[in-house]
Amino acid sequence: MAILSRYSAIRTLIVEDMPTQQTTLRGQLQLLYIQKVDVASTVEAAVRLIRQHVYGLVICDYNLNQKSDGQQLLEHLRDTGLLAPGCLFFMVTADSRYDAVAAASEHRPDSYLVKPITAGEVEDRLKSLLDRRHAMQLVTQRLARDDLAGALAACETILAKRGRWSMQALQFKGQTLLQMGRHGDAAAVYRQALSIHAALAWAQLGLAKALQAGGDVDGALRLAEGLIRSPDGARNVEAYDLVVSCLEARGDHRGAFGMLKDSAAVVPSARRQRIVGEAAYRNGDIGTARDCYSRVAMATQGTIAAQPQDAIAHAQVLVDAGDCVAAEAVIAASAKAFPNDRMLAVAAPALGAQMQARNGDSTAASASLAFAREREILRRSSADFSTIVLAKAELMAGHEEAGLKRLESAVTDDHLNLRTRQLIGQTLHQTGHADQFARVVEAGIVAHHVAAAKALFRDGRADRALTTIEYALADYPDNCEVLLQVAQMRCLMLRDSKHLDTPAVERVRACLSRLDALMPGSDRVARLHAYYRETLAELEGVSRVPQ
């Protein structure tokens, strides 16, 4: 008869390349009555198993004697969301200094064990983490269902007990209030935690986020900078990112870029180098961008951490630097590493078109562009960096309208992203179209609002649709597309209500009057005038309404 313990139901994966260590770890888990144990000798095998099964615990060796190490596996699993909710990840290492490695990364394991490890050590870590999970179970369950009010109530229940999990409950309460947009209440919770333990890094960071969300950017900046200067916050990646966000909100892109470079020096991960490279490129610092993407390539080549978008960005930077030979090598290597990546399928010929345009070979550039456009149509996805690459190729080849349209689509798909706008600004500047920036951004934002309003109208939420499009008109009072949509929606709503609403009629007339001035002789405006007259005739008769 099998002996059961609180750990017996935990399905566990051991990631270890040494057979003797595999046997040792399996034996130690059996001492805890953990029977469902799978073993992977490589990172690739581990990912396959994690895709197939739901694990409660992963025990992974840090040094796997492969191109990918345990830390890269952890980051990949967390970034891609492959780990099941609540799955614990334990790192095993022979180096007691691993804590410094984990601190210098974006993701930390739930725990780490220094060799040689014992069943008792594994049990101690499991017991502590499972106790915490059990205590906070109702909170996490409500959060998983996006029941924020329920999660908040569960936090209050835990806090009312004044037990050992009060600080954990305060942390969840602050995070939940932030998600609910109750920034002032969240700030009060974090201040309460700091009144108990003034050096709590998570509470300082949470308070800074609450202040920023509430509009106190300067206060948030002071707190985040103070956290970075403290012993506990010197390696806090989130604190650096919050400082960057605050500086960008103040329009201090140079200061934000400098802080990003500082974070890469303190936390020298591939991800940090990638972020600095992106910022350098947006700021027109091609030299720094080239150095950063070279480091990313060296750190991730052949590993699970390699990403096709890194190769695209690296190649684009090399093209801009005039090193087409190196760019071609990066594209060729990435095509082998990611043969089925759709973003790369568009970017590779687009980059080729850029290089050909640089060399004055317009015929070859046109052929490459045609191929890239075909791949873009087949991809049918939202705009991303490959869209910028293709737009740049169009502009460099002299296809101004097509290039600007693609940049507009990038704004439409991510209309609130200021970094996307900065990247677009650099692209326009580099191709001699800097004067088109305001028009491109406005067209992209307007397209987003128009699409959103149309979708709401189709879903039967006419009032929401009208509010959305009217907000757009307030921001862009002379945008013809918005004026047309406001007038058309107003007419449709008048017909649907079968009621002659005088303010609505006046609003349509005002839009049409403005359109006549902005688009004289337009067939589209003329058709809208006719539709307006038909609407009035249907409601009361043309003779009774002044024209």
What CA–CA distance (Å, rounded) separates 360 from 331? 21
* CA neighbor of 29 nearest in space, from 69, 61, 58, 65: 58
**Tokens matching residue 49:** 């198993």
**What pLDDT was estimated at residue 102?**
62
12-135 in CATH: which number?
A: 3.40.50.2300
- Provide the token pair at 449: 């609002």
Which of 205, 237, 241 is CA-nearest to residue 223? 205
DSSP string covering 444-503: HHHHHHHHHHHHHHHTT-HHHHHHHHHHHHHH-TT-HHHHHHHHHHHHHHHHHHTS--HH
> Tokens at residue 27, please?
């034996």
Amino acid identity of residue 418, one-letter, is L
3-state secondary structure string across 32-89: CCCCCEEEECCHHHHHHHHHHCCCCEEEEECCCCCCCCHHHHHHHHHHHCCCCCCCEE
Residues of the chain falling short of pLDDT 50: 1, 542-543, 545-547
Tens of pLDDT, residue by residue over 3-54, are 667 888 899 999 999 999 999 999 999 999 998 999 999 999 999 999 999 9
Q: Give yes or no for a contact between 14 and 34, defined as CB atoms under 8 angstroms apart.
A: no
Which residues, 6 or more positions from 2, have their beta carbon under 8 angstroms from its beta carbon? 8, 33, 35
Measured between alpha carbons, how far is 63 from 349 in angstroms, rounded to an integer?
38
List CB contacts of 127: < 8 A, sequence separation 6 or more: none
- Separation in Å, CA 353 to CA 326, 345, 364, 373: 15, 13, 7, 11
Surface-to-core class of residue 229, CB atoms within 10 Å of its CB (0-12 exposed, 13-18 middle, 19+ buried): exposed
**Neighbour order of strands in the sheet with 12-15:** 37-40, 12-15, 57-61, 88-93, 111-114
Indicate the angle between helix axes 385-396 and 308-320, nearest 10 degrees.
30
pLDDT for 352 equals 96
Question: How long, in residues, is the chain?
Answer: 547
Count the Cβ atoms, other than its own, within 10 Å of residue 352.
Answer: 24
